[in-house]
Amino acid sequence: MDAFFASVEQRDNPELRGKPVLVGGSSRRGVVMAASYEARKFGCRSAMLTAQALRLCPQAIVVKGGHGKYSAVSRQVFTVVRSFTPDVQPISIDEAFFDLTNVMHLHARNWNRGSAWEEKGAIEALTAAGRRIKQAIREAVDLPASIGVSGNKFLAKVCSDLSKPDGLKILPPREAEQSLLPMPVGVIFGVGPKAQERLRQLGVRTIAEFRAFGEDRLVSRFGEQARDWLRLARGEDNRPVRTSREQKSIGKERTFFENIGDPEELRALLLSFVEDVARSLREDGLKAKGVTLKLRIADFRTFSRSRALDEPTDSTKELWAAAWSLLQEWLRERKGALRLMGVSLHGLTSETQLGLFGATPAKTPRTEAKVDSTLDAIVQKFGRGAIRRGGSLREE
């Protein structure tokens, strides 16, 4: 999806259409979650400090946004994609890999799976499929999407990025190696900003220069991961589309505008975090086996505290009890304001596990489950700010 959060806000608010929009926190420590393409022209981008983005584009409109709304739209988009193929691997709320191999016979007659890219009419069939998917997404959620099509994940991702916004690009694998040569090394999975800077110091900026540098020299400087980078640089990627990726954790954290030392304020914030992650847990049909707190103090030292639960649960009340107990213990151990606080749920499972010797696992009391489901329904319909537990209320 293209500038997903910003595009949703522009769709829902006519006054934002055609204007530079930043979705995220408006404080000096706030971070941009998404920048519209109008804002990107000025150099604004996601993960940038909001203050920095506003210096680049003072006329940008900052929108706080709402995760519940974006999640609902995301589910609609994934429903559309899965109507074309069941082989879908979500990567994030607005991005996925999907494999059309087993359904291409629906788009082209006499499709030869063994030599699909050489088949007469293959490009035309893939183009038609891509256009149908884009049109179906547009009809379902009235948003633009960009699609990249190729023989593996890496090449498809590169094509998708090159086609933005609202584009469709197809790259036959036989053309990939030559097409990659002039591209910057940053398109390679795993070559982040630090590695790119080190490569620039070595005179390596493009994939052609990267490949010419030599495998042994790259491995001596970057370790064994450089071999994987080189395979990608040649357009080789054998990773399959995984339709049932195991989710390991769900979490939320926040860097505060000002350091917070008041236990009651920290308690209220933590409860709001737990409400959000517990809701995400239930939306995904999962239960958690443990809770972890992440705590960072003013001098940037970071601490974590974890607790295993007696039984996997998706109950906000039970998860909150564990999280609050951990925070109380930490507050008793240390003094000093917090710069960042986060909570994550781990040991996620979709199965109800039996207790010791086959005993029936403890169930969340019906009243607590009813409260959770009622609050979830209200938030789903009206947004996160529509209702909260009283303990999480605080001035924004």
- Comparing C-alpha atoms, which of 196, 121, 131, 209 is closest to residue 163? 131
**Helix (H, G, I), strand (E, B), or coil: what is residue 90?**
strand
Write out the chain's pLDDT in tens, 396 residues.
Answer: 999 999 999 999 999 999 999 998 766 567 888 999 999 999 999 888 889 999 999 999 999 887 788 989 999 999 999 999 989 988 888 999 999 888 887 766 656 655 567 666 778 888 888 999 999 999 999 999 999 999 999 999 999 999 999 999 999 988 998 999 999 999 998 888 888 999 999 999 999 999 999 999 999 998 888 999 999 999 999 888 877 655 677 888 888 878 899 999 999 999 999 998 998 888 777 889 999 999 988 877 888 899 999 899 999 999 999 999 999 999 888 767 898 999 999 888 865 443 333 333 444 556 667 666 676 666 555 444 545 555 544 443
**pLDDT given at position 29:** 66
Q: Does 95 qualify as catalytic in the annotation?
A: yes
Q: Which domains does the chain have, with CATH numbers?
A: 4-65 (3.40.1170.60), 68-178 (3.30.70.270), 181-233 (1.10.150.20), 249-392 (3.30.1490.100)
**pLDDT given at position 356:** 37
- Comparing C-alpha atoms, which of 269, 251, 275 is closest to residue 347? 251
Candidate list 9, 15, 38, 95, residue with the active-site label: 95
| Torsion of the alpha carbons at 154, 156, 159 and 163, rounded to the nearest 10 | -130
C-alpha to C-alpha distance for 28 and 276, rounded to whole angstroms: 24
C-alpha to C-alpha distance for 289 and 275, rounded to whole angstroms: 16
Q: Report yes or no: 196 and 235 within 8 Å, Cβ to Cβ.
A: no
What is the DSSP code string of 281-320? HHHTT-BEEEEEEEEEETT--EEEEEEEEEEEE--HHHHH
**pLDDT given at position 358:** 39
Q: Report yes or no: 48 and 32 within 8 Å, Cβ to Cβ.
A: yes
**pLDDT given at position 396:** 39
pTM of the predicted protein model: 0.63
**pLDDT given at position 253:** 87
